[in-house]
Amino acid sequence: MSGHQDRRTRGRWAAALVAALAIAGTSLLGAGAAQAAPITPSPTPAPTPASAPASAPASAPLATTVTMTTPSVLDYGAPIDLAATVVDSTGAPAVGTVQFEISGGETFATPIELVDGAAHVVFGSILNGSIDPYVSSPPSLAIGATFVPADPTALAPAHGSSEVTIRKGVTVVTASSAGDQLLLPSTPVMVRAELELQGFERTSYWLPAETAGTVDFLLDGVTVATSAVVPNREQRRGVAVAQITLPAQGSGTLTAVYSGDATYASSTSAPVTMTVARPSASPSAAPAPVKTAPRPTIIPAPPRSDAPVTPQAETPVEAPPASSPVAISATPVADVGPLRGLVLTGLVAALLLLAAMGALITLRLRRR
């Protein structure tokens, strides 16, 4: 039994050895065959063609800036020159056109070509080949300009705006007395103030706004009259007239002060001296003489026929000498003319002559 087991064990070991030898032989044979077989090179992959370089992105147009160069402050009636400059981000003058705008968006005129980056046009209308400026009223006017580039790929469009302050129109007022009136004390006299508008060309077809407001007339700094201004657009002026009363005597200084209105500024005239003439003295008449009653002459009563007549000594009665002055008292009479004085003097002389003649006749009768 033990012998039988030994044979089985030896058989297993032999089978295992044979299997191991078989495996080793197979490995050696495979390695030799691999060394003896020719080597076939693997194919080289074809080179991939290089792709073309990617194109650089197109450059963006340069930014531009519009600057309004119109004066920021103008007087009413002064021409408005719409002006602008355009430059790119490098500071170089832009190339293209500018469309001007007024009142916050309303286009004015056709697009203006930039010259060295600048453009301008007078705000007005073209009449007979010349520009007639428009007149903008106070207080302001909004203006702007839009830039359109000649090459949109090189320059970007832009817009600029500003506001122009319109000052009230300048006025000049002149005071004078109306006509060649003789200035008498406490006598009404007409005074006049002429208001002239400044800054308007006489050839302009655009008429300015009518003047309004009032004029105060001052005499020695005190307001003595106020009158409304009557406008005259065609002559670009206004007129105010008033009536004042001058002082009793001496002279006064007249000044006219214009109040101004929504369009025109106030103004004060230069002072004007008004001299009051003294009233001419009426010719004084000579005091009218007043006659005096002649001295009474006493004539004795004739003697009665039954009474004895007693001779009496004759008393001579002297008549006043013709050449001796006669004292005449007179009371001045106002407003007696020279002719009336002469007539009264003649009457007095005639009465004196009659009195003298009566005295002579009485003297002769007594002598008889």
Phi, psi of 357 (to 5 degrees): -65, -40
Identity at 368, one-letter amino acid code: R
**Which residues have CB under 8 Å from 134's CB, separation 6+?**
80, 123, 124, 125, 206
- Architecture of the 64-167 domain: Sandwich (2.60)
Q: What's the pTM?
A: 0.54
First vs last Cα of the chain: how many Å apart? 259
DSSP three-state, residue 7: helix
Per-residue model confidence (pLDDT) at position 85: 97
Strands 124-127 and 73-75 come out as unpaired
For tokens 């903008």, the residue is 136
Report how far residue 260's alpha carbon sits from residue 170's, in angstroms, rounded to the nearest whole number. Answer: 10
Report how far residue 145's alpha carbon sits from residue 109's, in angstroms, rounded to the nearest whole number. Answer: 11
Report how far residue 96's alpha carbon sits from residue 62's, in angstroms, rounded to the nearest whole number. Answer: 13
Q: In order along the chain (368 residues), what is the average pLDDT of each group of 10 residues?
A: 53 61 54 50 57 64 95 88 95 96 85 95 74 81 95 95 92 78 73 84 69 92 93 85 80 90 93 76 50 54 50 49 41 48 76 82 74
**171 Cα distance to chain centroid:** 5
Q: Which of 55, 126, 56, 64 is nearest to 91 (CA)?
A: 64
Is residue 112 within 8 Å of residue 121, measured between CB atoms?
Answer: yes
Per-residue model confidence (pLDDT) at position 363: 77
Q: Which of 137, 168, 171 is nearest to 258 (CA)?
A: 171
Burial class (CB in 10 A: 0-12, 13-18, 19+), 175: buried
Q: What is the token pair recorded at 42? A: 């693997």
Q: Where are the domains of the chain?
A: 64-167, 171-276, 281-296+323-368
DSSP three-state, residue 264: strand
Identity at 104, one-letter amino acid code: G
Which region, left, alpha or beta, applies to residue 355 given φ > 0 means left and ψ of -120 to 50 means alpha?
A: alpha
Report how far residue 348's alpha carbon sits from residue 333's, in angstroms, rounded to the nearest whole number. Answer: 16
Is domain 171-276 given the CATH code 3.40.50.300 in the classification?
no
- C-alpha separations of 121 from 219, 253, 363 in Å: 49, 49, 122
Alpha helices in 63-154 (DSSP H): none
Per-residue model confidence (pLDDT) at position 324: 41
Which residues are paired to 177 by β-bridges?
191
Same CATH topology for 64-167 and 171-276? yes
Report how far residue 299's alpha carbon sits from residue 365's, in angstroms, rounded to the nearest whole number. Answer: 10
